[in-house]
Amino acid sequence: MLKEQLQPCSKRIRKLLIADDHLIAAEGLARICSDVADTVELVVSGDQLLKSLRQTPPNLVIAETALPIVSGLDAMRFARLEGYLMPFLFLTRHGDLGEAASSVRWGGRGYLTKTSDQAELLDAVKTVLAGSIYFSAAVLTSPPCSDTGSAYGLTTSQVGIIRQLGEGLRAKEIAYTMGLSTRTIEHHKFLMMRRLGVHGTIELVAKAREIGVI
């Protein structure tokens, strides 16, 4: 449960956190948003996003949805469960309206495709900092994404967990590689087994291979 309602941010903020696994893209975003924040920090994975967020909470997070290790969407979910309420603005290679709606249910404030131009990005940032929600037109007119994992209701992080299980890693080892607790990995396993209608790790991995996730 969130501790309080999301509050609008001031026009210029203290810290902006940008998460994108393509460093050149992240540096470009930082230059575009340099007038928005006193400090701009760049990270390249979801676990780094969470680490930075916990150490010095930013006023705004701009994140790629498909970050390695922990997806941008899952990073926001973990942040919300821990009580962090800063707004998240997501960038995606594929405008998936269903994914965008899911992000809003967890408190996401904006959703843009990576084809958006500089003017639209700044417009989105200003809208989000004013306390409103921003969806780019490309997202609003896009069909739902049909990749195998999302078709079965699995998040990017859950697909990553299944693939590591398929490689023979144990929950403790996966937790270490993803920067999460063993309990969190076990919880994801439980959710995936329930969603796919299987019992136990062996059946989960076999089902993942059957449906093409692995």
Output the six-digit token pair for 30.
């930082």
Give domain limits for the chain. 13-141, 148-211
Domains 13-141 and 148-211 share a fold: no
Question: Are 62 and 91 within 8 A, CB to CB?
Answer: yes
- For residue 8, the model assigns a pLDDT of 41
pLDDT at 110: 85
pLDDT tens by residue, 34-93: 888 899 999 999 889 999 999 999 999 999 888 888 888 888 988 988 899 999 999 887
Q: Which of 200, 195, 203 is nearest to 155 (CA)?
A: 195
The CATH label, of 3.30.70.1450, 3.90.1150.10, 3.40.50.300, 3.40.50.2300, for the domain at 13-141 is 3.40.50.2300
**Closest C-alpha to 8, from 135, 133, 130, 134:** 130
State both tokens at 41.
């920090």
Note the helical H segments in the chain. 23-32, 46-55, 72-81, 97-105, 118-129, 137-140, 148-151, 156-166, 171-178, 182-196, 201-211
| pTM, two decimal places | 0.62
User: Domain 148-211 adopts which CATH fold?
Assistant: Arc Repressor Mutant, subunit A (1.10.10)
pLDDT tens, 140-178?
Answer: 555 544 455 666 778 777 887 888 898 888 888 887 766
